[in-house]
Chains A and B, each alone.
Chain A
């Protein structure tokens, strides 16, 4: 795709091979020429500009609900709603990412205690110690996968701690989630059976263990859900596991890609790396915000209009879908100067990397803390590093598009 391409030839489909290989050129055309791009076969409008995405997410009163799922496969979108909205059923309780208000807020309150800033801050020593342990083991190897072996295992260890699982299972957690969320490289989307079930099999034993132990609050993420009631009904173990699935996956597959990619950007900009190194404690939190903007792998989510509304001058009818592109919004020239450049200390007054509004990322505070620690500890221990880009892997993806594998070469450990 180039700017010179004939307008009639431009075609954006989030599941096309070209988009899954590199969506960024498509995003620029969408932002510049088609801010409300309609995909007829999906009956879906695509929004790519920062302010339009923000407007969608700011719309309250259940105007938009993820009732057609939030991360659809192509087949989900090919089934049109034709102006009808499926009735919400609460038994069994659908995954909370799909729930409208007030049900979503109630579920969130039940499990969010360990994800709030004060609880998260108390995890700093655990995360730092685990990062140091990983670096102790990895640095002597001189070469390792920065995404998986370092950042990925640290993130997975945090998920293990939140779910009351032994941290020795971190690698298994990481590999299971990575395998389960891999996009079909031919047709896009994720195998729902392989994707969810393999991960559920890791969560369910943790839920059952908490029920057997009495669920008195020692593992507040799960114990909170044990005490939650929907219309007076307690949830079954499978329902609890499903409610916590987004935390389990989201906490493991996103942060490592940002940390590893961010460290690579610093390596590719030695002047910026030098500036960051002059005061790591003060500068890493600032650099992390740019890493989040520039490297966040989640490309988009979907909502269905439950009421007729207008976004960016485009009328959206009941049952039609909106697909909002976080990846495009993060590089919108209308919001950020020179958006395709990594600038460690740029002003970032607003971000959509964690979403906004009702379904704002519940793990935002954990993610920021992990990123700060992972990046700072690496830079404290490694004074010179580079990457073997011939062996780096960025799998085609319709959702999590980022560096799955970044082989780092340690040139000098401090």
Chain B
């Protein structure tokens, strides 16, 4: 079990408890967190689950290293070095307390 905090661009916080190992995209969608769309179902093919990993957590989640993920992030004009696709972050107990910031909108 792990807890993930999603923070909207306007500061609204959503804390989701995750049971089992699922992606941060799926956890958000299943719990009604606004601002994560997941148009492709989690295959890194649409870039509509773009999040900014809180800098204090990027060491644990890792940066986007997979070429597919990096390519998709390039489609979003607002990507930074802590940008990830939430569908490519698997929530494990090691990520308990993870903080993800949401962009103003998915493109």
Chain A 104-146, CB-CB to B under 8 Å as 1, else 0, gives 0100110010001110010000000000000000000000000
- With A105-B46, A347-B20: A60-B68 Cβ-Cβ less than 8 Å: yes
Query: In the complex, are the beta carbons of A108 and B39 less than 8 A apart?
Result: yes
- With A117-B29, A118-B35, A121-B34: A356-B42 Cβ-Cβ less than 8 Å: yes
A37 to B15, CA, bound (A): 46
In the assembled complex, A25 has its CB within 8 A of some CB on chain B: no
In the assembled complex, B1 has its CB within 8 A of some CB on chain A: no
A57: which B residues are within 8 A, CB to CB?
43
Nearest B-chain residue to A120, judged by Cβ: B32
Main secondary structure of the interface of A (DSSP, over half): helix
CB distance from A372 to the nearest CB of B (A): 10
Query: In the complex, are the beta carbons of B40 and A117 less than 8 A apart?
Result: no
A60 to B45, CA, bound (A): 8
CB distance from A53 to the nearest CB of B (A): 13
Query: In the complex, are the beta carbons of B29 and A360 less than 8 A apart?
Result: no
- With A105-B46, A349-B22: A355-B34 Cβ-Cβ less than 8 Å: no
Query: In the complex, are the beta carbons of A117 and B39 less than 8 A apart?
Result: no
Query: In the complex, are the beta carbons of A362 and B39 less than 8 A apart?
Result: yes
Nearest B-chain residue to A358, judged by Cβ: B45
Indicate the size class of the contact surface on chain A. 20 to 34
Find residues 12-36 in chain B having any chain A CB closer than 8 Å to their own CB.
20-22, 29-30, 32-36
In the assembled complex, A365 has its CB within 8 A of some CB on chain B: yes
In the assembled complex, B54 has its CB within 8 A of some CB on chain A: no
In the assembled complex, A275 has its CB within 8 A of some CB on chain B: no
In the assembled complex, A383 has its CB within 8 A of some CB on chain B: no
In the assembled complex, A354 has its CB within 8 A of some CB on chain B: yes
Query: In the complex, are the beta carbons of B39 and A360 less than 8 A apart?
Result: yes
A356 to B41, CA, bound (A): 5
Our pick among B29, B32, B34, B39 for the contact of A112 (Cβ within 8 Å) is B39
A residues whose Cβ falls under 8 Å from a Cβ of B = 57-58, 60, 105, 108-109, 112, 116-118, 121, 285, 347, 349, 354-358, 360-362, 364-365
Which 6 pairs, one residue from A and one from B, show the smallest C-beta to C-beta distance?
A360-B41, A357-B43, A118-B34, A116-B37, A360-B40, A356-B41
A-B contact pairs, 5 of them (CB 8 A): A116-B48, A117-B32, A118-B35, A121-B34, A357-B41
